[in-house]
Chain A
């Protein structure tokens, strides 16, 4: 526990030296974060390898019976990506700072505090500690989102984030208060058998699902996620998307661990939410032109995949199906880590693009693969992994969930698992389309603007964190057996007596096939190289393009045209807004075209609703006269009313 506390302390204080002018670039902060990550990782890995879970107890305070903080396997599993991503983010932040707005020292200080809050949160074993850390995390993230507060859209994003995170917290206050009232203590501990099926159990589940789902960004509750991720500095977006939204998942995982006998509909509801978030998340991502907003919608999609796995495990727990539980939970948990790796990577790469070109608009980019080869390779690696393509890590976790849902086809009481299969297949195909669009538009072809043409590769401090994350994606993808012992230990805490993954899956064969894939690829590359000397061919040839050799960059297929087939095919959910001038006559005037997909909940439901309610409430202006005696009169009338009510 000392190790862990030291890690938290180092992370929390990492920004302090910078306040006194010693640490202008943030190298000291980054080193402190690395040290913190090293210590914390050691503590976490020891737990995952079977060491007893260390706990922090303060007996004199008599707070809870199991202590304030417990580094159990679940905590350790969520702790590792927190530490890895924040260390990577800290180094990235050293070189990233380009914006004239916002103070880098301030960002570094709060970044450290956010990391510490996240680390404490995953270990919290007491409701107060949990809520304190939760609130610390929420506020630190708010302060980071609002870094560039001179931009109106940043202020709006941060405001929406603040409101929704507190709405979520409100649900959690309700849930924890109710739970403490029922059990008589503040421990986060197992529920008694039979309690989950009672009406209080139902209410608690719904409150937790709303509170944690809000943080995770599950589909109808996701409103804060796209604007906040787009507005924050990229290493902050990377940490938010990679681990902060996973704290919602952490809460749900803890809930699963507490409940010995969840009713069947819990799993069904979670699966339904997962399918909704997954499919709509990727569908809305297809309609985005802002690189970081696109990635943010993909976070919603991946939360959907995680929820599909979690729901499947819950169904397994309700029906007493051990293999289903093991595969569902393992898929969800592994996807938590995988998503933090590849989405962290993608946000860092997107930040690198923004750093080089000053824009996030896909239609202004293009051809960056030549000027930024390393960033481009990193983004390709992240795209490859997030589409779940072998041999990278995204495939492994999705494979577990697929295996689980195929097994669930035999459940007599639960016919929905074919829906999971269809949803996963559809999500996979759409994600592939979306990342082909994103990678293709940003890095391939020719630059679509002067800014993109003048792009330069980012400094090494930004590239190395990306390389670390990409390497981790590759290792988990090719050698999944390495992480199985730790994963088994986490899964075992979610249900008693679950079978190990090594017995359920043939991971060594996957490794063999992954290596075969790489080997065949290398052989083919060799064969291509071995062709007749290519020197004789003139080096500087245009794309053939059916003879249109004078093609201009603007004539390339744009991101919106690429996605148009799918977006207009799904217009009955996406409602794309298209502004196009009619082209007519022999010599048409110049015309403009733009298309836009706005958020279904925020822009099309909540916004009109809130406008309406503001208009309705404006009628109350009449009673706000601003004169003190009138308000005193109101107080008097209220008191009189209460008095009469009490007497009668």
Chain B
């Protein structure tokens, strides 16, 4: 009993630590991979940590147009993602909080983060940020069903409504290792992952043309500590949603620490894959993005259909 309690506490500690410390590493990894593939040496992997430390010391500048809603965006995003991260299992380690229906809470916490980000963009009164906000809400209307079809398929296959059993049902039921439905679900979610995290081919975080961006353009006016929260929130989203993608693929290992290691390695690999995808594709025209997302909806809908027969 005391052993399980100790290991639970240990896991909780590791989970919290991973959520708080790990995320800024991922964008660094992606940037490094992109730099290598382009033949540059690129910024250090830890660049985002330096940026965050610098921003935390900087003064924030506020436009006269903005109100408290402007701060609600970064604060709400990070708060919602932190709470959502409690529901997600990292690899085959248990999630700190797990109950029937936490899937829905998870999705709606992501929705909350989006809602507040969009409002804080509109708070500036800038047409650029309004444009980004409009794109964000339009595209997420397609990302949401893709996510939910995937959840429905996993729920159908595992008979559970909780993220941890759904993602960790390795080799069980009908979503065995690399079975058809699982591949389709993950394909659908990979598209959601790229769109939600403002990655190519949906969005280009590095462009300097504000007209072509989605996520970055919404935070043009944030500075100082609020901007630090924005950056940290974006990296946290890479980890939290990344866990959805890598968990079903990981094998269950006997030792707890091996599971942690496997998860971290898989997350790193995901970052590398994202870097490769970003280096090898061009950004779609905005009008093509809905078609790309629709492909994601269809993939996870087909996964569900496969599980029906």
A and B assemble together: yes
Mark A residues whose CB is within 8 Å of B: 366-367, 369-370, 373, 376, 380, 384, 387-390, 395, 398-399, 402-403, 406-407, 409-410, 415, 418, 421-422, 424-426, 428-430, 432-433, 435-437, 439-441, 443-446, 504-506, 509-510, 512-513, 516-517, 520-521, 524-525, 527-528, 531-534, 536-537, 539-546, 548, 551, 553, 555-557, 561-566, 569
With A517-B83, A551-B127 known as contacts, the answer to whether A541 contacts B134 (CB < 8 A) is no
In the assembled complex, which residues on chain B have CB atoms less than 8 Å from the CB atom of A418? 149, 152, 304
Please tell me which stretch of B137-145, B180-188, B199-207, B247-255 contacts chain A, meaning at least 4 of its Cβ atoms lie within 8 angstroms of it: B137-145
When chains A and B are docked, how far (Å) is the Cα of A440 from the Cα of B117?
A: 11
- Would A390 and B105 count as touching, CB distance under 8 A? yes
- Would A426 and B145 count as touching, CB distance under 8 A? yes
- Would B210 and A444 count as touching, CB distance under 8 A? no
Query: What's the nearest-Cβ distance from chain A to residue B124, in Å?
Result: 5
- Would A563 and B134 count as touching, CB distance under 8 A? yes
Known: A389-B108, A440-B122, A561-B130. 7 other contacts (CB 8 A): A390-B108, A406-B155, A429-B142, A432-B114, A528-B74, A551-B126, A566-B137
With A387-B115, A422-B145, A433-B138 known as contacts, the answer to whether A543 contacts B221 (CB < 8 A) is yes
Residue of B nearest to A520 (CB): B79
With A542-B65, A544-B220, A557-B134 known as contacts, the answer to whether A516 contacts B127 (CB < 8 A) is no
- Would B134 and A561 count as touching, CB distance under 8 A? yes
> Is residue B82 within 8 Å, beta carbon to beta carbon, of the partner chain?
yes
In the assembled complex, which residues on chain A have CB atoms less than 8 Å from the CB atom of B119? 380, 436, 439-440, 444
When chains A and B are docked, how far (Å) is the Cα of A521 from the Cα of B73?
A: 11
> Is residue B169 within 8 Å, beta carbon to beta carbon, of the partner chain?
no
- Would B144 and A425 count as touching, CB distance under 8 A? yes
With A425-B145, A521-B79 known as contacts, the answer to whether A505 contacts B57 (CB < 8 A) is no
- Would A541 and B63 count as touching, CB distance under 8 A? yes
When chains A and B are docked, how far (Å) is the Cα of A89 from the Cα of B41?
A: 66
Residue of A nearest to B75 (CB): A524
Report whether over half of chain A's contact residues are helix, strand or loop; otherwise say mixed: helix
| 10 A-B interface contacts by CB (under 8 A) | A388-B111, A426-B144, A429-B140, A429-B142, A445-B65, A517-B83, A532-B57, A542-B64, A546-B220, A557-B134
In the assembled complex, which residues on chain B have CB atoms less than 8 Å from the CB atom of A435? 115
Contact for A537 among B61, B69, B225, CB less than 8 A: B61
Query: What's the nearest-Cβ distance from chain B to residue A379, in Å?
Result: 11
Query: What's the nearest-Cβ distance from chain A to residue B72, in Å?
Result: 9
In the assembled complex, which residues on chain A have CB atoms less than 8 Å from the CB atom of B69? 369, 380, 443-444
Report whether over half of chain B's contact residues are helix, strand or loop; otherwise say mixed: helix
Contact for B122 among A445, A517, A569, CB less than 8 A: A445
In the assembled complex, which residues on chain B have CB atoms less than 8 Å from the CB atom of A506? 99-101
When chains A and B are docked, how far (Å) is the Cα of A484 from the Cα of B93?
A: 33
In the assembled complex, which residues on chain A have CB atoms less than 8 Å from the CB atom of B221? 543-545
For B199-228 the 0/1 string (1 means CB < 8 A from A) is 000000000001000000000110011100
> Is residue B76 within 8 Å, beta carbon to beta carbon, of the partner chain?
yes
Residue of A nearest to B155 (CB): A406
Please report which residues of chain B, range 262-309, place their CB below 8 angstroms from some CB of chain A when the two chains form the complex. 290, 301, 304, 308
Contact for A545 among B97, B100, B123, B124, CB less than 8 A: B124
When chains A and B are docked, how far (Å) is the Cα of A41 from the Cα of B131?
A: 47
With A428-B108, A524-B79, A531-B56 known as contacts, the answer to whether A557 contacts B130 (CB < 8 A) is yes
- Would A505 and B125 count as touching, CB distance under 8 A? no
When chains A and B are docked, how far (Å) is the Cα of A395 from the Cα of B58?
A: 37
Contact for B131 among A432, A528, A557, CB less than 8 A: A557
With A406-B152, A516-B83 known as contacts, the answer to whether A562 contacts B133 (CB < 8 A) is yes
